[in-house]
Each structure stands twice: as structure tokens, then as C-alpha cells.
Chain A
Amino acid sequence: MVRLYLANDTSSRAAGAERLADAWSERTEIQLIRTSSRGAFFLEPMVERDTPNGREAWFNVAADDLPRIVAGVGGTPVAEIPFVQQQTRFTFANFGITEPLAIDEYQTRGGLKGLAAAQGLSPEAIVGELRLSRLRGRGGAAFPVWKKWQVAQQTGSEHKYIVANADEGDAGTYCDRMIMEGDPFRLIEGMMICARAIGATRGYIYCRYEYPAAAQTMRFAIQKAREADLLDCDDSPFDLEVVVGAGSYVCGEETALLESLEGRRGVVMAKPPYPAESGLYGRPTIVSNVLTFATIPNILAQGGAWHASLGTEGSCGTMALQLGGRVKQPGLVEVPFGLTLRDVLDRFGGGMAPGSRFKAVQVGGPLGSLFPESQLDIPICYDAFAEAGAILGHGGIVVYDDETNMVELARHFMAFTADESCGKCTPCRIGSVRGREILERIQRGQGTAEDLVLLSDLGETMKTASLCALGGRAPYPVLTAIEHFGDEFRQGVEFTRPA
């Protein structure tokens, strides 16, 4: 019997993995192992098998390719796939290799070493290791992780909480989903290390409604971890639970998330107090992104200095970039910080999808800036992006082709903010609606020259006066679209109303 590996990740299934599994369900000559995905989604559905020289893979497989695969004809060694081979995988090292819920495989491949190391350290020493690592939060805000942990550690309270922010709402991002579906014990291990460092009694994984498979995998993984006695913190049981949201983007903002976790409307709260001092039910709470927690086991296992040696001065470690849109090779790319945007698009993205031409790339989700061809040499790190007035966000990179209408795209962004605004602060609640209306006027060819001035003025107000990043960042994609593709906007202004 030939053992074949096929990914069971949502995107792999959407690409056809499930059709293969169904078609081959009664084939006795094979044993199908459902793994996580390599993240090379342009090759999915991809089937792998073992050879004496490591795994070989067959790409974009159809059900009738099975005889070829069983005969071992036409496979490509996985180590020779440039998209995979050029990456530096630490957090995603297991992807495509292991079965997500096999705790023994996780352990065989180095899992739980970070937790074991943490158990030999004092809480202060764990925070010290994180300080040395210079890890910054991967959800978007890039706040130094150790500072948050230190505040929660030093704030006295009978109960403390840990929340994994799995409300991965930024369009163009999917690495948290991959982690939860593909390597769930890594997230649990990261959270357990945090629990020990701050003395937490309970943890929650706040998972968006749109990710049912991720929520289910995490529930199974928590059950397995409990059975393996992994969910103990200093000899007392640590309660870990998956909580599902209900379709609100702003619940990815930490204070709104905590409101939602308590069952209320997910409305943003003014800070301070920060959640690390007073969060869930008024107790010290660490809210961190899934990718942040999943990065921590390796840091404890290999040391903070190891992590600090990767990447750039201000952005240490690796970043999980998620390529999407009109690139030829969309997928997950884990590389140390510092490569240029052009490098990533060329080396991993493989250029544009057949028949399309590059127009712009957006980095950092629906609140991220647009970059034209002339600005692609920007290094991927927090500092360079901050200097350019842009954000790396959660690492989403979406490429648009020349068929994209920039006025419509700008309207789409403003409409998104208008839909998703929690309504707490005026600049975001009213500003996004007025912004959308102005863009709709321009789209209909009924705009005036003052409308562009008004839009820019409105943008500045939203940037400075909004309570959270939703209102504060919403103008960036719109204003960068106007900055780089101004002609398209001016057409809508000038044609119908000549001065």
C-alpha cells in the first residue's frame, strides 16, 4: 500500500483536495494521510509521497492522476520547489508534513520544547527571554510582546486571562487560519508559556465565525492536550476554550474583542486602561494574535538571542506573508524581515497571473496603503513601512491588475469601513459614510474638484481623531489610490462639470 499525503486545510479543500479524497475513498492500493498544507496554494490540490530522498509531490492533481502517482511517475522533490525551498520556515516548519491533531508528531518534530524550557524558568525569566528576542506583536500593532507580558505579570489579581485573537478579519490574510487548522498545538503551547509567565488561570481563543474548520480543529486539539495533561499551569488546571464571534471586523481590535467575549456589542473602548492591566471582566488580560503566540514556542526552545539574530534591527524574526490577488503563485511565505516587496513578489509570487499586468499592490489588509510599481523596493520591516506612512499589518499582500478601477476600489474600502465601523467615535462612524458618498459621486461622474480636497481633509481628520485603527487607517488606501492614480479620480470630477 502506498501512503499518500493530501492537505486538509480549507483552501486546499476549496482547490479540490476534497474531490480527490472522495474519488479515492475506496482505493485499497493507497492510504491517504490528511496533513496541513505547505501553503503553496497555487499547486493545490497537491499530493505527496515518501521516497528515499524525502517527499515527492504532484501538483494540481486530478482524480485520474492516481495511477501515475502510485507508479511514482512525474513527481517533483518537494525540496526542489523554489516557492518552498527559498523560505525560512520556523513557525510554519511542520506545514505540509504533519497531521494537525497528531500530538506525538508535533512532539517528534520539536514541539513542546519551548514549554519545557519555560517550565524550567521563573516567570520573570520567561519575560526576560522575550525581551531578548525583541518579538513584536504580529497582529498589526507591532507592540513589543515582553512589555505587555511584564505589565500583566506585575499587576496583582486573583484571576488573569489570556486571549488569542483569532478574529483574522484583514482581507488578504489567512496565516492564523492555517495555524489553527494545521498546527494547533503550536498555538496552545504559546498560550501555555504565556499562562506560566503571567500566572493566568483561563484562556480563550476568539475565533471568527467565518472559520468553522479552525474552531473545530482547535476544540479537538484542546481536548487532546487536556488528555495529555498539557493544560496544567503550575500544577493547577488551565481552562482553555474556543469562543466564536459573529461577523464583526472591528472585534479584531483588542478592546472590542473583549467586549464581544463578554457577550456584548463589540464596541471599541478608550485606552488606557490597557487590557494587560484591566481587560476581560476587569482583570489583567493578554490579548495577542494567533501568529504571535505560535512564534513563541521556538523562541523559548532556541532562546531569545536566536530570534533576535533573524531579520532586521527593528523587526526581528520571520514574518508570515500571505500572497493573494493577481499573482501567479499565491500562498504563504515565511521569510526573515528585510526582503524588499519586489523580491517577495518576484521570487515567491512568480510575477503576475497569466494575461494580467501589474497595477498596484496593497500591503496590510483593507486599511493598508497601495504601492505602485515605482515603490516596490521598500524593505519589508516595521520601520521602513512606518516611515513610508504604511503598515505591514498582519502580512497580507494583495496584487491588483490593470483591469482594476481605482475609484471603485477606493469606494470599496470606504464602504467597508462604513459597514464595519462600531459607531463609537464620530470621525469613523460619520467620516466613513461621507467618504463613501463622495467617492460614489466621483464614480457617477458628478464630483467637483473640491470633492478631492474634501476627501483629503476628511482623511486627515479620521487619521488623527479616530479612536482605533479602523477609522485611523481607513483613509490610507483611499488617499494612496488618489496619490498614485489621481488621473482616474480627476476624470470623474472634470468630465461632467467643467469649471
Chain B
Amino acid sequence: MRTQFGARLTEALETCRPAPPDKPNILKTLLAVQSSLGYVPASDLPQIAQVLGVTDAQVAGVLSYYSDLRTQPPSRHLIRVCRGESCTANHGLRVLRAIQDHVRVAVGDRTQAERFTVEQMSCAGNCAVSPTVIVDDEVHGRVVPSQVAALLERYK
């Protein structure tokens, strides 16, 4: 079965094909696929399993276990709001609410959102300048609700 990512997927998988006596590494492979395609399409599980020489179920098991492996296409921008303890202590929940009010997207809703997806994340390790909001790869610290609109304006 050809998928929409045919060639790119094959290319990503080729780098992960285990060379004996090495054992297949499912997590590493899924991360490589995600880094190439932006997510791991469920329809590609059989091809991934076949290249690695493991069962579909083993791949599905790893895919569903790790929260940073995505099975839906990403929006243009991913907003991650830290819900670690330091951000919680610094009232990061108010920042999360301000973001949701501003972009009008529910946490975790990947299907409706084109511009932004909003997620909560566990501790970002940016505790000393919390609350933390990460947009794509940029880490923003000491975010207060009143800054949210201006902060997100930069991401079109």
C-alpha cells in the first residue's frame, strides 16, 4: 500500500533498519519517522513493523506509550504550557486559560486546529523563570496572562 509519504517514509526507515546483530529499536525508529513526517501516521504502522521485523502490535504499543509521539498531523505551531510544580506555584494555570481564551482551541485538540495546537506538558526544566510556555522550539519564561496575545502574535 502506498501512503501519502511513501518515499519520505521509506527513506526515514532505511536509516533505522537494524544491521545484524543489532536489534531493532522501535522508539528510535518512530522518532525518526516523526522527525521526517511531523507525526507517525497510523496507516504506516505495517510498513514500519515490516522493516524492523517486529509485529504491528509491538509498534502500536510503543507509539501509544510515549506522549511525545504524535499520531495526528501537527498544526503550524505547537504551544506547550508547562504544568510542572514551579509553574503551578507561579500560577501557570492562569496562563493556560489565557492562551485557550485567545486561540479558542481546547487542550489537545489536534483535529480542528490549523494555526495552533495547545498542549500541557510536564516540567520543562525552566523552573527558575516560570511560568513557561514553549511555542515550537522557543522557550518563553516569566509569562503572565496579559502578555499572551502579544507573544502569540509572532507566530502566524
Residues of A within 8 A of B (CB): 10-11, 13-15, 39, 41-42, 44, 168-174, 177, 209-212, 243-249, 260, 262-266, 281, 322-326, 330-332, 353, 362, 365-366, 396, 398-401, 403-404, 409, 412, 416, 419-420
Contact = CB atoms under 8 A, between A and B. Distances in A.
Contact of B122 (A11, A212, A262, A420): A420
B128 A330 contact: yes
Contacts of A173: 123, 125, 127
Interface residues of B, number: 41
Given A10-B139, A324-B89, A247 B66 contact: yes
Contact of B66 (A246, A331, A400): A246
A246 B128 contact: no
A262 B65 contact: no
Contact of A169 (B83, B90, B122): B122
A168 to B, nearest CB: 6
Q: Which 7 A-B pairs have the closest CB atoms?
A: A14-B141, A247-B68, A324-B86, A263-B25, A41-B128, A171-B84, A246-B66
Contacts, number: 146
Given A15-B129, A263-B28, 4 more contacts: A15-B142, A174-B125, A247-B122, A412-B88
Given A13-B139, A14-B139, A365 B66 contact: no
A398 B66 contact: no
B68 A246 contact: yes
B128 A174 contact: yes
Interface centre among B26, B130, B142, by most A CB within 10 Å?
B130
11 contacts: A13-B139, A171-B84, A172-B84, A245-B66, A246-B66, A263-B25, A264-B62, A265-B62, A398-B85, A398-B89, A400-B89
Nearest to B121: A210
Interface in B17-38: 23-31
Given A263-B26, A263-B27, A401 B66 contact: no
B61 interface: yes
A399 B89 contact: yes
B117 to A, nearest CB: 15
A264 B142 contact: no
